[in-house]
Amino acid sequence: MMRRPRLNTILAVALAGGIAGLLLWSAPEASRGGAVATERVRELIASTGASNSVCSIVLGARLLDTLFEVLVFSVAVLGVRWMLERGGPDPSAGEPRTHSVLAPVAEIAESDVVRRSAYLLFPPVTLLGIYLAVFGHLSPGGGFGGGAVAASGLLLVAVAVGAQTVARRFHEQALARLEWGVVAVILGIALVSFLLGAPKSGLLPAGVPGELTGGGWLLVYNLLIAIKVFLGGWAIIHLFIEHRGEI
């Protein structure tokens, strides 16, 4: 027998439909590409020296927004770490950890082909991540993308040889400290830049626009954000793999 939908369900879906209709109606007016956008992009490139105008916005005009984005990411990683390591039933209150809802996930079978492929692919994937971060202000890419690509490379190795094997090569505490150290450095540089009056301050010598060092602080920001995202991404991946099958 089919249940009758409740009133709040109907209202929610109707509201969503209304919002979607509004989007469809207003979308043609919302586009601001063309001459206005071209002029704005020219100004951005002239002021930051970066060919990637998206990067100029993210790390220039909207730097404050990006800093809070990095903070939200860091707090989420901290929350995942805290909840998975200490969350769940409280053993002191007589609530033992259980393994009853889902069967534990079986270990991935050791495969020579997978292991060798992972070791073969890891260096180029990591190199691509570094490239995306370093040239992020000149071409498509950036710190977030570069860090995510490098973390995926490590995930590939973790899937092939086991997360524990990979984790043994790292000092988890040192990685966590490094992660928060990078956040502190990013915030410190941004604070100094803001105090000096502009996100792109004269702390680094301005280069030729379009060249690798032409973006000033954008290169440094991208590299630091890439390290942060790489470490945070690895922490989340590692924790989820380590705690799989515990629920």
The correct pick among 34, 94, 197, 205 for binding other proteins (CB under 8 A) is 34
Q: Which stretch binds other proteins (CB under 8 A): 65-73, 123-131, 191-199, 200-208?
A: 65-73
Exposure string over 50-79, b if 16+ CB within 10 A, otherwise e? bbbbebbbbbbeebeebbeebeebbeebee
247 touches 92 (CB < 8 A): no
The correct pick among 93, 100, 106, 205 for binding other proteins (CB under 8 A) is 100
- For the record, the structure tokens of 188 come out as 């410190």
Angle at 225 between CA 223 and CA 227, to 5 degrees: 70
Residue 37 as a binder of other proteins (CB under 8 A): the answer is yes
Q: Which stretch binds other proteins (CB under 8 A): 36-44, 110-118, 187-195, 214-222?
A: 36-44
Residue 93 as a binder of other proteins (CB under 8 A): the answer is no
Residue 77 as a binder of other proteins (CB under 8 A): the answer is yes
Burial (CB count within 10 angstroms: exposed 0-12, middle 13-18, buried 19+), residue 198 = exposed
Neighbours of 205 (CB within 10 A): 7
Residue 104 as a binder of other proteins (CB under 8 A): the answer is no
Q: Which stretch binds other proteins (CB under 8 A): 105-113, 124-132, 136-144, 157-165?
A: 136-144
Residue 152 as a binder of other proteins (CB under 8 A): the answer is no
The correct pick among 35, 103, 195, 208 for binding other proteins (CB under 8 A) is 35
Residues 63 and 194: their CA atoms lie apart, in Å, by: 10
Residues 29 and 10: their CA atoms lie apart, in Å, by: 30
152 touches 145 (CB < 8 A): no
- For the record, the structure tokens of 112 come out as 């020579």
Residues 199 and 2: their CA atoms lie apart, in Å, by: 59
Task: Say how many CA atoms lie within 13 Å of 95 toward its Cβ.
Answer: 6
The correct pick among 57, 132, 155, 227 for binding other proteins (CB under 8 A) is 57
The correct pick among 47, 84, 152, 201 for binding other proteins (CB under 8 A) is 84
Residue 83 as a binder of other proteins (CB under 8 A): the answer is yes
- What string marks each residue from 197 to 226 as x (binds other proteins by CB under 8 A) or -? -------------x----------------
Neighbours of 98 (CB within 10 A): 10
Residue 28 as a binder of other proteins (CB under 8 A): the answer is yes
- Site residues (vs other proteins, CB under 8 A): 5, 8-9, 12-13, 15-17, 19-21, 23-25, 27-28, 30-38, 40-42, 44-46, 51-54, 56-58, 62, 65-66, 69, 72-73, 75-77, 79-80, 83-84, 87-89, 95, 97-98, 100-101, 139-140, 142, 144, 210, 229, 236, 240, 243, 246-247
